[in-house]
Amino acid sequence: MIETDKNMSNYLSAYDITNGTIVSVQVKDRTLRGEFIGVQLAIENSKNPAEDKIVLDKPLELPNGKCHEEPITIALNEIRQIEVIECGIFKKRTGQVDDGPPSLPPGHPGEKIKKEKTKKCKLNSEMKNLEPIEIQLRTYVIRDPQQFKVLTTLLKEVDVCGISFEGQNVGRNGIVSWMIMTAGKTLIPFDIDALYEQLPDLWKSLERSVFTNEKLIKIIHDGRPAADYLWHVHRIKMVNVFDTQVADALIVKEHLGYAPPQLSPLSDCLEMYNRRIPMEELDFLRKYEGMDFSSNSPFLRKPLPPPEFLKLCAIKVKHLVPLRENMMTKLMKRLRNCVEAHLSTFKNSGLQEYAVLSKKPREVSSELLDLLEDNLGQQV
């Protein structure tokens, strides 16, 4: 944790916090306190310390669980403290005095973050200069009623979560032994068997706090097996669900003009829309994506599945929140274009045309109509 003081400017001048860093920032007398990804703590004016500012490139997560698109600039004297979440980010500038903490020792995991090779057919050229980021999450396995109660309190503080169901042949005829969730920076595996023995009304509690909670966005990739299981076994219908597989199909359809011939697996979606996922995690995910867990599933083993399958569970959910954010940016592009055309209808019209248009506020303008029609001329 870096406490701000009169030497803060010298400290930040001597060190770069490179792209890929995750830091938490507290600001005096303001509500801003969140985690920031890919930050460049850049001194904008180092000649006058009273006017020094830093730029936080992109807020990853603010206290309300929401993300921000634009960089944030903060006066240095407003900052209370900066806490480094991701290790291995300090790089000494050549010729600068070391007023900060010592560099990380050789071999530290943080120094092993390097650019990974990407598949040219999948990734666009902008990704070549981006370093992968490995998202580290706190993990709490929920096995007893007290832990479950703490979880329900935690869920009230977030409005979005990643979720997956693991077991054997998940669906109406299968078994769900684990439910994996992310809440903020926390990974939460639910031991369904252990909880159900102590909480006979477990699924009713989950129904209220998670599945039918309108305020909580549930992000899932291919939610059909989970929805089938919840409805046919527990008569629960999930609401406010963001399915990344469906979102990908919509984006592809928007780009190509026709529906994709088949749906994408999670690994392809992560590779296309999450620019900084480590290739090692993608390769690991692809290794297990095609496996058949309809019998002798490792997820049925207790007290925990084998380590590699725990890792698989984590990878399947921990990137879902940033994946949704990036997909929403794509999905909102057409809406933004339509809004721009709609706002320009009056603005770009002449006096006579404006006099006519302003008397017909419910009429669809030709500019907006063009954008509302797809390539086949059918209105969407």
pLDDT on residue 192: 93
CATH for 2-110 is 2.30.30
Looking at this protein, which amino acid is placed at residue 158?
V
**Confidence category of residue 36, pLDDT binned at 50, 70, 90:** low
**The whole model's pTM is what?**
0.60
pLDDT on residue 196: 92
pLDDT on residue 92: 32
Angle, vertex CA 12, rays to CA 11 and CA 14, nearest 5: 65
What kind and span of H or E run contains 370? helix 366-372
pLDDT on residue 380: 39
The size of the chain, in residues, is 380
Q: 10 Å Cβ neighbour count for 277?
A: 23
CATH for 125-327 is 3.30.420.10
pLDDT on residue 246: 92
Assess whether pLDDT exceeds 50 at residue 110. Answer: no
- Dihedrals φ, ψ of 102, to 5°? -65, 155
Would you kindly state where each structural domain of the chain is located, as residue ranges?
2-110, 125-327, 334-372
What kind and span of H or E run contains 81? strand 79-84
pLDDT on residue 210: 93
pLDDT on residue 330: 85
DSSP 356: H
Assess whether pLDDT exceeds 50 at residue 5. Answer: no
Give the C-alpha distances (Å, rounded to integers) separating 52 from 9, 28, 77, 143, 323: 7, 15, 8, 49, 34
pLDDT on residue 280: 87
Looking at this protein, which amino acid is placed at residue 302?
K
Q: What is the pLDDT of residues 112-151, one digit of tens each?
A: 333 333 333 343 444 444 444 555 667 888 899 988 888 8
Q: Which two tokens stand for residue 199?
A: 């909480």
User: Are the CB atoms for 80 and 27 separated by under 8 Å?
Assistant: yes
Q: What is the pLDDT of residues 234-276, one digit of tens each?
A: 999 999 999 999 999 988 888 777 788 889 999 999 988 887 7
Assess whether pLDDT exceeds 50 at residue 1. Answer: no
DSSP 117: P
Mean per-residue pLDDT of the chain: 73
Mean pLDDT of 365-372: 76
